[in-house]
């Protein structure tokens, strides 16, 4: 695997691969890689000849009171893991190269629909930071395929919309959620969960699955289910940020006759904000 820090060098390497007729798969990350990231790399490898992973902890998508400064930077371990799965290129640019004119002056990409609800409501500006950096990374790498984990369901829905709206020539592929044995979705932020909280930290997943089973057995009072799920999290010692039964495509609150649904939630532990989702298809969707 080649580790490259500069836009010029990754472009040069990929130009050669493209001239040889190779297809390029891309997995953008912020590092601190775990098995769910590695599964995305394996998925990209099955679809493309050459796979690029990027690691860039994008300050633009963190709010002022968020954890940008304590977000784990583990380049050495990440490189080893990527070598282990046979990744071809690891691209780790400096902030000064990604935002050469500073972040305030940076041209931004905004997807107005979907960006201000759910996670966007409690993290103002977050998705603007995501879509701006992802579009820059797409321009740098110019991948044929990009793989994103579906744990960040809203992120993927927004990126899909950006790609569609801006006619970006990239195919998006969703990677399944990888879970710990007790159902907790793997996340770089799980390291912030305390030992005391850890046995209960799967409550978010348990509550979302509880809603799913209620809907599957005919319940349609989504507001009641959402309120009950939040109460379950509170009983387990956590604060729910939101729980929402949504239309799986638009992310608008689900209508009683919607067939493709996604139940999304976010929950605060003492030092982490966890997100998760479960999808369900009703009837003949
Ligand atoms: O999901 C992430 O790790 C980040 O939001 C992404 C897509 C790499 C953009 O910084």
- DSSP for 54-81 reads EE---GGGS-TTSSTTTS---HHHHHHH
pTM equals 0.97
Strand order, beta sheet including 24-29: 2-4, 89-91, 50-55, 24-29, 145-149, 171-175
CA 219, CA 182: separation in Å to the nearest integer? 26
- Going through 92-144 in order, the beta strands assigned E by DSSP cover none
Q: Is the dihedral of CA 120, 121, 124, 125 positive or negative?
A: positive
Which residues sit with their C-beta closer than 6 Å to ligand 1?
Answer: 28-30, 58, 61, 130, 133-134, 152, 155
Rounded to the nearest angstrom, the distance between the alpha carbon of 188 and the centre of ligand 1 is: 11
pLDDT band at 284 (very low <50, low <70, confident <90, very high): low
Q: What atom in ligand 1 is closest to the CA of residue 149?
A: 1
**Mean pLDDT for the chain?**
97
Q: How many other β-carbons are positioned within 10 Å of the β-carbon of residue 176?
A: 12
Rounded to the nearest angstrom, the distance between the alpha carbon of 282 and the centre of ligand 1 is: 31
Judged by DSSP in three states, 203 sits in helix
Residue among 167, 174, 150, 152 nearest 47 (CA): 174
CATH number for 188-280: choose from 3.40.1190.20, 3.30.565.10, 3.30.1300.10, 3.40.309.10: 3.30.1300.10
Domain-by-domain residue ranges, the chain? 2-175, 188-280
Q: Which fold has domain 2-175?
A: Rossmann fold (3.40.50)
Whether 5 is catalytic is: no
pLDDT digits (tens, 9 = 90+) for 205-251: 999 999 999 999 999 999 999 999 999 999 999 999 999 999 999 99
Nearest CA to ligand 1 atom 5: 130
Q: Provide the pLDDT for residue 279.
A: 98
Rounded to the nearest angstrom, the distance between the alpha carbon of 73 and the centre of ligand 1 is: 14
Q: Which helix (H) or strand (E) holds 161?
A: helix 153-165
Q: Which helix (H) or strand (E) holds 53?
A: strand 50-55
């Amino acid at each position: 695997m080649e580790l490259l820090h500069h836009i010029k060098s990754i472009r040069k390497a990929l130009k050669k691969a493209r001239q040889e007729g190779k297809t390029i798969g891309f997995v953008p990350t912020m590092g601190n890689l775990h098995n769910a990231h590695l599964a995305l790399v394996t998925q990209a490898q099955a679809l493309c000849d050459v796979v690029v992973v990027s690691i860039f902890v994008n300050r633009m998508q963190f709010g002022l009171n968020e954890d940008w400064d304590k977000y784990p930077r583990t380049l050495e371990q990440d490189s080893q893991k990527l070598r282990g799965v046979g990744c071809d290129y690891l691209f780790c640019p400096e902030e000064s190269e990604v935002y050469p004119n500073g972040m305030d002056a940076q041209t931004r990409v905004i997807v107005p629909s979907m960006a201000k609800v759910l996670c966007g409501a409690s993290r103002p500006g977050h998705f603007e930071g995501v879509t701006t950096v992802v579009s820059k990374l797409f321009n740098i790498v110019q991948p044929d395929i990009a793989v994103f984990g579906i744990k960040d369901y809203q992120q993927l829905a927004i990126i899909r919309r950006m790609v569609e709206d801006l006619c970006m020539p990239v195919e998006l592929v969703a990677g399944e959620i990888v879970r710990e044995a007790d159902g907790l979705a793997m996340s770089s932020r799980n390291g912030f969960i305390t030992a005391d909280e850890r046995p209960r930290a799967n409550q978010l997943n348990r509550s979302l699955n509880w809603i799913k089973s209620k809907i599957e057995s005919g319940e349609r009072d989504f507001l009641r289910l959402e309120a009950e799920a939040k109460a379950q999290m509170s009983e387990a010692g956590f604060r729910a940020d939101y729980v929402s039964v949504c239309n799986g495509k638009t992310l608008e609150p689900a209508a009683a006759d919607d067939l493709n649904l996604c139940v999304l939630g976010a929950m605060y532990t003492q030092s982490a904000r966890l997100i998760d989702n479960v999808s369900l298809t009703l009837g003949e969707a």
